[in-house]
């Protein structure tokens, strides 16, 4: 029964709690016991808030008994990535620099989750300042993939993804600056949604006006992602993009049924990546057939698009340089060598390089907008291969089909960062498992503010090709 409880969906758990058929205390205790058992193997958590979670669970149980109005996530455990503040708990950013940094108040997403009744059980691991697509840091060590302990969970929301895949709470908040929700979701066989820019406030962005980072839900099922998403959307006066929100589009009437008849989907086989692993391609082809069987019209995108990998790297690494170089005199020797390298590479870019990269971002946005005049959705693999080794050096080229294919963003995660730059909503859902037992992902991208449509298509795909019953065997 305990394992079944660990892999219960959030929607089912909340319904059982409301009907007094599941005790929040029993539920939280089961999750905490599983964390204690698996944390030495996975290293998915920075801080486990056991005492606070138990107290919240007791209060949640009392509220049910007392007939208090209950939120949609009442009594459901959730974890928060260690780039987001939770009041009274360390936010380390995976760095020795902030090893003792205790947050004074909740960030937007934890605060909204508490309002919805969720119980925060802990903070999950991230690479230092979330700078790379793997989750390891000098402060917290290596986070390992539940499907294969010698592989990475991806990054930078790798602790969140690993925890969800292992049954350590059904919900997690991740952040996504260049694929950091979708990459780990694909790598760990779960669901990860990067919303439309501004749908969920990102008040922690260093430059809120030029922001390309997002907070979003990570779950095992699409229904849970939609439920969690619904509690997080809405404006906050610290995020100008959220203030510009005119409201999410309702689900398109054409998607109200059980089929995708009349839906046009553009398939993008490659972006900046020169190679796609054979197993990833096979699972993607099967996913496309499943979407077609639902009635969708699938068409390969024929346009040649400049995916601005170089310009995206200019923006990414120059931002790292601006934030990290002032810390070098005191902290360089305790920082992740790949973070140091990224900062040094970013320092080499000129102001002209940065401005041209900003112009290129606009050009890419307009190119994607043109595609959406013809297509309702875009799909691609989420990653170009399965999980890298847990100790992979992010400054080295990724090998795909026995060929060196450049840095992770030029190869493994090339499908992800473009939609950070353009702001379109994008979800990763499992597309299958490779012969090595590792999961692969399918990315579904929609129009601005059409997050609910993206979730609906993902749900229909999940219904046709279910995955949530698969559980890793953790040795």
> Which residues are the active-site residues?
81, 156, 180
Give the position of tokens 């300042």. Answer: 129
Q: Taking the mean position of all CA atoms in its chain, how far away is CA 212?
A: 14
Instruction: List beta partners, residue 266.
Output: 299, 378
The two most distant CA atoms of the chain are separated, in Å, by: 63
Q: Phi and psi for 353 in degrees, rounded to 5? A: -60, -45
Tokens of 403: 């060929």
Please state, in angstroms and rounded to a whole number, the distance separating the CA atoms of residues 112 and 115.
Answer: 5
One-character DSSP codes across 151-191: EE--SSSHHHHHHHHTTS-SEEEEEESSSTTHHHHHHHT-E
Give the position of tokens 């698009």. Answer: 305
Please state, in angstroms and rounded to a whole number, the distance separating the CA atoms of residues 357 and 317.
Answer: 12
- Angstrom CA distances, 90 to 40, 213, 441, stand at 20, 21, 32
Tokens of 447: 């129009």
Three-state DSSP at 241 gives: helix
Give the position of tokens 């054979």. Answer: 278
CB-CB neighbours of 64 under 10 Å: 19
Tokens of 82: 């260690």
Tokens of 356: 């041209």
Helix H or strand E encompassing 357? helix 351-374
């Amino acid at each position: 029964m305990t394992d079944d409880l660990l892999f219960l969906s959030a929607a089912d758990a909340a319904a059982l709690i409301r009907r007094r058929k599941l005790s929040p205390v029993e539920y939280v205790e089961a999750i905490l016991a599983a964390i204690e058992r698996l944390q030495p193997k996975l290293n998915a958590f920075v801080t486990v808030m056991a005492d606070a979670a138990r107290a919240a669970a007791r209060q949640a149980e009392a509220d049910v008994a007392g007939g208090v109005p209950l939120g949609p996530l009442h009594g459901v455990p959730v974890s928060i990535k260690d780039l987001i503040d939770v009041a009274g708990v360390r936010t380390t950013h995976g760095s020795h620099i902030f090893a003792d940094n205790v947050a004074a108040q909740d960030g937007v997403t934890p605060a909204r989750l508490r309002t919805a009744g969720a119980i925060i059980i802990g903070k999950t691991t991230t690479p230092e300042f979330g700078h790379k697509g793997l989750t390891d840091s000098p402060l917290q060590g290596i986070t390992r993939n539940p499907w294969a302990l010698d592989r990475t969970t991806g990054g930078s929301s790798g602790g969140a993804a690993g925890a969800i895949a292992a049954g350590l709470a059904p919900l997690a908040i991740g952040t996504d600056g260049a694929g950091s929700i979708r990459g780990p979701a694909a790598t760990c066989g779960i669901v990860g949604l990067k919303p439309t820019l501004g749908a969920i406030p990102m008040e922690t962005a260093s430059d809120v006006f030029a922001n390309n980072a997002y907070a979003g839900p990570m779950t095992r099922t699409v229904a849970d992602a939609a439920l969690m998403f619904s509690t997080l959307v809405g404006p906050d006066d610290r995020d100008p993009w959220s203030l510009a929100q005119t409201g999410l589009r309702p689900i398109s009437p054409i998607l109200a049924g059980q089929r995708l008849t009349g839906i046009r989907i553009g398939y993008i086989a490659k972006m900046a990546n020169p190679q796609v692993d054979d197993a990833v391609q096979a699972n993607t082809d099967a996913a496309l057939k499943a979407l077609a069987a639902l009635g969708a019209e699938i068409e390969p995108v024929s346009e040649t698009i400049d995916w601005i990998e170089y310009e995206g790297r200019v923006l990414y690494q120059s931002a790292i340089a601006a934030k990290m170089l002032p810390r070098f005199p005191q902290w360089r020797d305790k920082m992740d060598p790949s973070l140091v390298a990224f900062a040094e590479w970013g320092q080499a870019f000129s102001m002209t390089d940065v401005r041209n990269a900003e112009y290129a971002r606009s050009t890419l946005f307009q190119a994607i907008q043109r595609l959406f005049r013809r297509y309702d959705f875009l799909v691609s693999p989420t990653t170009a291969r399965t999980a890298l080794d847990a100790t992979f050096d992010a400054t080295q080229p990724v090998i795909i089909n026995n060929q060196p294919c450049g840095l992770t963003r030029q190869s493994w995660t090339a499908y992800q960062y473009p939609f950070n730059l353009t702001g379109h909503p994008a979800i990763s859902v499992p597309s299958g498992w490779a012969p090595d037992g590792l999961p692969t992902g399918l990315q579904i991208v929609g129009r601005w503010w059409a997050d609910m449509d993206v979730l609906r298509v993902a749900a229909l795909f999940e219904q046709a090709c279910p995955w949530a019953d698969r559980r890793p065997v953790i040795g």
